[in-house]
Structure 1
Amino acid sequence: MEKAIRKKSSHRKFKAFTKIWSIIYLIMLTFFEMIMVFTNYFPARYMLVGALLLGGVSFILFLLLFFNSFKFVVKLIALILSLVLFAAFALGSVYALKTDSFLDYVSRSKNDDAVEVTEKPFNVYISGMDTGGKITNEGRSDVNMIATVNPKTHTILLTSIPRDYQINLVDKDDATDKLTHTGLYGINTTISSVEDLMGIKINYYIKVNYSTLYQLVESIGGIYVVSDYEFTSYIDHYHFVKGENHMNGHEALAFARERQAFTDGDVQRTKDQQKVITAVIDKMTSSTTLLTRYNKILKAISDYLDMNFTPTEVKALVRMQLDENPKWKIEHSNITGFDSYQTTYSSGNQEVYVMEQDEASVNAAKDKIKKVMHPNEEKNSDKSSNEN
């Protein structure tokens, strides 16, 4: 008799707890939904379907937990399921808020050259500084790459320009200098000078350095890169075979910086830098990497990245990727030139090595960018030629 009374008492306490818990659960669900709407990372149809499913399941769970007419076993199952969902809501809210905090930290609130990144093609200037540690405003730009992105054709063209390439400093009366030195005068000088060289508008920039690449590759568990040559790097003496190599952060950095092992020097280095970036993009866009290492990636690169994408534009790209899940086609282009020694703006009267411009190479790179940005114009031009 006493045992039955204790059992009945414990059931009453359990039912009282589930009633309180059902209210706490609803509060957490409401908070989670508000966070999802506020952060706005998911496509509208995903949000709608998710809200309907969670709302339906949560309504049933609330009824089972709040009202005492249901059996103990049923309420226990409902409690366990609500605990699992509660943990998922909490984790999802933390991830969304951390991502928002990350974007606010590394990006800009306004960009006068912004475009509708999911509707129109755009150019991103990738500037790799020759430093480690936190990103600074000035420093030589040793990696110089234009990423031309067409969100409609899902094509990315990476155009590399050698660090020693001859360039005119637009904001310094067109004085001649090496491209790498433009970074000493700030990213705006680099961008205006490259825009002048290529005859394009650069809408965005991303500044990275040695630490960015190392941290990023480490955070995603390494990358696979196909090397054109077998060589031992000058930096840290890593050995790479011709063909596929698995690289950790240190190895990827040494591979991307190497030029002394090659006859083509900086030209081959720019090709290898493209290979590393392509490998990182391929790894990061795989579903398992982002899902399992998302938090680690954000934490690893937050102090080593600067860009003028706004959080709104990044979120738009994320929503597009989730909604369409496109397979991006990555193409490569490399500008070349001629060896020469000249005086430059930064060297004064001293002659230094400069890669003199090759007009044919620059024009070929311009044509490739145009084809990616305006593929329909190329098709119409080809059609007109055939008709004539």
Structure 2
Amino acid sequence: MSFKKKLLIGTLVTFLLAAGGVTYYFFNLYQEAEKAVTESYQDLERGEHSEQREEEVDPSEDNISILFVGVDDSDTRQGTSSLADALVLATFNKDDLSVNMVSIPRDSYVDVSYQYSKDKINHTHGFGGLDETVSVVEDLLDVPVDYYVRLDFMAFVDTVDALGGVDFDVPYYLEETDSTDQGTVVIQPGEQTLNGEEALAMARTRQHDNDLERGNRQMEILESIIDQTLSFSSITRYNSLIQSIGDRMTTNISFDQLVSLHEYVTGNDGLEIEQHQLEGNDLWANDIYYFDLDERSISDISKELRSHLQIDSQYVEAKNEDDEDQGL
């Protein structure tokens, strides 16, 4: 056998072995991802779809909504007492590949099912669990919440670190407690890449502004996380992100739905993201601070989200008829 033939065969064998190794790696990674997401899966008590939907939606074909719930699971707030410290509802429109996000202030004064009087929306998770939080958001904005993603603080920190940080323009010098409430995070002002602890500090702080600005920062950071995720240049980064999920996330999005959603949002040049903020006024009742939401703001954003989901008015009409029949 000539030297050239031996070289050609050797090169071919090396290529096949390398290709096989890459295929095995991808298959292995796929299995790890499926296992992690499956272990994080937790359905809502309501069942497979919102009462505002006639049937379950398909992320690969339908416009959908996802409620992101950031939970404070610190040592003093474990289990059912965990507060929903961040609430962002995102609607996805498959036709124009756009996302509408609305931040719901944590102190919003809302109707709840576990007591006669209104309560802060961030208490709903602690007193009623995820179903209560989802139900309250649906009633407040009159849109279906198809899916949820619940993350605790450490999951958020690990996710940002797995992404290699997120880009953010820090508006001011900040000193904030870390995720353990034991240490201090110090951030200088200016454009920079924040690590997990720094991103969490920016998302949590209310030292220099209010809940509305806090909500805007949370949406900006979430948008940066989405951008970073969609711009991965290495499959190993996905592996790190998957491993960061661990047991710190729960969701009712199945692995197959997550895969179809990923293919949907990465199928073109990216997503167009628009941010919305609920307006309102400060309210004190029994020496407790609340944020009293403006009804016009709720109505305007509700219409925007329903239009973005391309939901017709049939549900609203049916709901109004039911209310009239019940004398409400």
Relative to the length of structure 2, the TM-score reads 0.82
Q: Distance in 1 between matches of 2:66 and 2:36?
A: 20
**How big is each residue's C-alpha offset from its partner over 1:176-216, in whole Å with a ceiling of 9 and x where there is no partner?**
11101001120101111111111111111110121111101
Q: Could you say which residue in structure 2 is the equivalent of 1:75?
A: 9
Give 1:373's aligned residue. 309
The SS at the match of 1:233 is: strand
Does the Cα contact within 8 Å between 1:119 and 1:152 map onto a contact in 2?
Answer: no
| Whole-angstrom CA distance in 2 between matches of 1:286 and 1:137 | 36
Match of 2:238 among 294, 299, 313: 294
Identity %: 22
Matched AA of 2:214:
R
Quick one: distance in 2 between partners of 1:108 and 1:311?
12
Question: Secondary structure of 1:274's partner?
Answer: helix
Structure 1 residue aligned with 2:198:
251
Which residue of the partner structure matches residue 277 of structure 1? 222
Gaps of 5+ in 2: 50-55, 178-183, 314-328
2:187 maps to amino acid:
H
Q: CA deviation at 1:309?
A: 0.7
Is the Cα–Cα contact under 8 Å of residues 121 and 133 in structure 2 kept in the other structure?
yes
In 2, the alpha carbon distance for the partners of 1:137 and 1:306 equals 14
Question: 1:113-152 counterparts in 2 under 5 A?
Answer: 113=49, 114-132=56-74, 136=79, 138-152=81-95
Corresponding residue number in structure 1 for 2:96: 153
1:238 to 166, 186, 190: 186
Question: Residue 208 of structure 1 is aligned with which of 138, 142, 151?
Answer: 151
Given candidates 105, 129, 139, the residue that maps to 1:186 is 129
Which entry has the higher C-alpha Rg, 1 or 2? 1
Matching of residues 1-388 of structure 1 within 5 Å: 72-108=6-42, 112-113=48-49, 114-132=56-74, 136=79, 138-169=81-112, 171-172=113-114, 175-184=117-126, 185-227=128-170, 229-235=171-177, 236-241=184-189, 243-262=190-209, 265-288=210-233, 291-321=235-265, 324-342=267-285, 351-374=287-310
* Counterparts of 1:180 and 1:250, CA distance in 2: 22
Q: What's the offset of the Cα at 1:138? A: 5.0
How many aligned positions are there? 295
Indicate the RMSD between aligned Cα atoms, in angstroms.
2.6
SS of 1:259's equivalent in the other structure is coil
Alpha-carbon distance between aligned partners in 2 of 1:137 and 1:101, rounded to the nearest angstrom: 26
- Tell me if structure 2 keeps the 8 A contact 1:219–1:293: yes
Runs of 4+ residues deviating >4 angstroms: 70-74, 108-111, 135-138
Q: Which runs of 5+ in 1 are unaligned?
A: 1-10, 12-69, 344-350, 378-388
Q: Could you say what secondary structure the match of 2:59 adopts? A: coil
> 1:321-349, CA deviations, whole angstroms, 9 ceiling, x for partnerless residues?
45x23410111011122111225xxxxxx
- Ranked by relative contact order (alpha carbons within 8 Å, sequence separation 6 or more), the top structure is 2
Query: Per the alignment, in what secondary structure is the counterpart of residue 116 of structure 1?
Result: coil
Checking the alignment, whether the CA contact within 8 Å between 1:118 and 1:152 is kept in structure 2 is no
More strand per residue: 1 or 2?
Answer: 2
Change (3 A) 1:178 1:292: same
Higher share in helix: 1
